[in-house]
Amino acid sequence: MHPVIKNCQGLEETDRQHLQRVEDGLAITADVSRADVLLYCRQSARTAVIVAQAQPHSISPLHPVSLVGRAVSQDDEPLVLRALREGTPGRQQRIAEGGAPVIQEVHPIYSSDGRTIGALVIETNLIERERHRRRSRAFQRALFWFQQMAIRGDLRDAKQLGPFGEWDGIVVTDAQRRITYLSGIATHLYRHLGYLEDLRGKRLGELQTKDDELVATALRTGLCQRWEGEEQTRYWIRQVIPLWRYDPPWPLPAIVADRLGRRTNYRRRAGALILVHDDTEARHKQQELNVQRVRVQEVHHRVKNDLQNIVSVLRLQARRCRTEEARQQLEEAVNRIWSVAVIHDFLSHDKGQQINIREIFQRIVSQIEQVALKPGCRIRIDLRGPSIYLDEDQATDCALVFNELLLNALEHGFDGGERDGHIQVELSNIANTVTIRIVDNGRGLPDDFSLEQTNSLGLQIVQTLVRDDLKGTFSLYNEGEGVVAEVSFPKRQ
């Protein structure tokens, strides 16, 4: 429940628990009702506040943005304030914020001792409302019972239910598990299972499906059920909601029965809703994606192995070099290739598409400590900051940039590892802007240093990658006793 509920008047802990049960059923209520659902509580004598909201998956929502936390007055929502004040329901036609005509139904929510503690508002597009009216009476009754359960917080275990989408089917059964209604989509889906005839009037036990078992369990336990499995070579998701009716079993005038049904605990089995989803195509697509992901991982693995072979050959060649300049050039090439190999190694094991650059940087630091530092050199490299996840392209660019800046600090700040010192790497991700700071306490930059006129190949690589690929900024300047290299760029969404 949203923290705004703490500001609502007259709510005890048991009331909040009851409202939490109501909120747990809002999502499936919005989907089945094909309507937006809002939960209000009293904020003061003249205002109410929205404490929960659900948008339908089965139709375009009337309120595409969150309204939770919005306060309303008597002028804004007269039926809501009346329901909270007097405990009376209401209905009206109004114009939604987007300009669409809607039917607004306001239902008071009662505590166990009869106090009004909230109001559930169901807002239905006028066109969708007319579609509901044209459906069979069996569906209309089932929808009424279902919404009454939502108002009472009686949709138990509803949080385990998944979305009910536009292309899902709905089946209504009575308490004897006899089919009384099928939507057009449900009729089409059952034809995939070989049932070409009209299924209305048939008992679920006559079908070779999981329906009868699920409905029997739901009616026995009073809990919503969810099942995923294969039938007739297709993959299905079935969700069952037990239906209860709250009107007294003896005859009473309609208005008296309605008030008693709202304020008392009369409850008897009415049937069940079966929500049917054919997940076959989605499963097949997921299987194809899994196969492609394995193939891509295998490619990354092979590329990593090839790069490591190249690194090994270059290292052998570096050992045979007769001049220090040639050996240094080969070692720089080795470290650049290794930076790319680290990315491919990571992608060959990771199943996701995002790469943790902090982990990549740590691997590069370990490699440089083993290869680039002179024996006996005491240069401490610390890596600080949170895990930052980037896509493959940005992560590869970052690895190359980081490798070049770290090597630049070692070579020019500490004479290639001959001097002792400290390098601190700081990562941050604020407002989707990633910043990498490399601070050393080595030799500072010359007074006449210009980043634009530098002849350093490593710094030229960094500038090109940051400017053209990362679309960011790069600066290099003296600070205190050492040098700061700072790279900032927008994180790709």
Does this model's pTM top 0.95? no
What CATH number did the domain enclosing 56 receive?
Answer: 3.30.450.280
Among 63, 261, 16, 65, residue whose Cα is nearest residue 147:
261
Report how far residue 265's alpha carbon sits from residue 249's, in angstroms, rounded to the nearest whole number: 12
What CATH number did the domain enclosing 179 receive?
Answer: 3.30.450.20
CA distances from residue 425 to 182, 340, 383 in whole angstroms, order as listed: 63, 20, 5
Contact 57, 31 (CB under 8 A): yes
Name residue 235's beta-bridge partners.
Answer: 230
φ, ψ dihedrals at 327, nearest 5°: -60, -40
Q: Residues 40, 43, 45, CA angle at the centre, nearest 5°? A: 110
Which of 278, 303, 332 is where one domain is finished? 278
At 340, which amino acid appears?
A: V
Report how far residue 133's alpha carbon sits from residue 140's, in angstroms, rounded to the nearest whole number: 7
What b/e sequence results for 419-448 when a residue is b if at least 16 CB atoms lie within 10 Å of its CB, and e otherwise?
bebebbbebebeeeebbbbbbbbbbbbeee
Per the structure, the count of domains in the chain is 4
Contact 215, 202 (CB under 8 A): no
pLDDT top residue among 402 and 392: 402
Report how far residue 458's alpha carbon sits from residue 478's, in angstroms, rounded to the nearest whole number: 18
For residue 378, name the pLDDT band (cuts at 50, 70, 90): confident
Helix (H) or strand (E) holding 309: helix 280-320
**Per-residue confidence (pLDDT) for residue 261, from 0 to 100:** 47
Q: Which range of residues forms the domain containing residue 175?
A: 135-278
Please tell me whether residues 370 and 483 are part of one structural domain: yes
Please tell me whether residues 244 and 331 are part of one structural domain: no
Tokens of 309: 């072979």
What's the mean pLDDT in 56-77?
Answer: 93
Among 271, 273, 278, residue whose Cα is nearest residue 185:
278
For residue 449, name the pLDDT band (cuts at 50, 70, 90): confident
Helix axes 357-371, 324-349, angle to 10 degrees: 150
Please tell me whether residues 85 and 165 are part of one structural domain: no
Please tell me whether residues 474 and 376 are part of one structural domain: yes
Please tell me whether residues 147 and 118 are part of one structural domain: no
What's the mean pLDDT in 273-293?
Answer: 87
Q: Residues 170, 278, 63, CA angle at the centre, nearest 5°? A: 60
Q: Work out the end-to-end distance of the chain between its first and last CA atoms, rounded to an integer number of angstroms.
A: 29
Please tell me whether residues 315 and 392 are part of one structural domain: no
What b/e sequence results for 362-379 when a residue is b if at least 16 CB atoms lie within 10 Å of its CB, and e otherwise?
ebbbebbeeebbeeebeb
Please tell me whether residues 42 and 152 are part of one structural domain: no
What CATH number did the domain enclosing 385 receive?
Answer: 3.30.565.10
Please tell me whether residues 389 and 480 are part of one structural domain: yes
% of the chain at pLDDT higher than 70: 92
pLDDT at 64 over 60: yes
pLDDT at 165 over 70: yes
Helix (H) or strand (E) holding 24: helix 13-24
Lowest mean pLDDT among 207-211, 281-285, 290-294, 360-364: 290-294
Tokens of 470: 């990362």
pLDDT top residue among 347 and 163: 163
pLDDT at 350 over 80: no
Hunting for tokens 């994606």 — which residue is that?
289
Q: Is the dihedral of CA 7, 11, 13, 14 positive or negative?
A: negative
Please tell me whether residues 346 and 477 are part of one structural domain: no
Contacts of 338 (CB under 8 A, 6+ apart): 307, 311, 364, 367, 403
What's the mean pLDDT in 476-481?
Answer: 86
Mean predicted lDDT score pLDDT of the chain:
87
Which of 126, 149, 168 is where one domain is finished? 126
Please tell me whether residues 23 and 80 are part of one structural domain: yes
Which of 278, 300, 328 is where one domain is finished? 278
The three-class DSSP label of residue 186 is helix
For residue 3, name the pLDDT band (cuts at 50, 70, 90): confident
Please tell me whether residues 141 and 204 are part of one structural domain: yes
pLDDT at 28 over 50: yes
Q: Is the dihedral of CA 35, 39, 43, 44 positive or negative?
A: positive
Strands (DSSP E) contained in 361-481 are 379-384, 389-390, 421-430, 433-440, 473-479
Contact 40, 121 (CB under 8 A): yes
Distance of CA 186 to the CA centre of its chain: 28
Please tell me whether residues 360 and 451 are part of one structural domain: yes
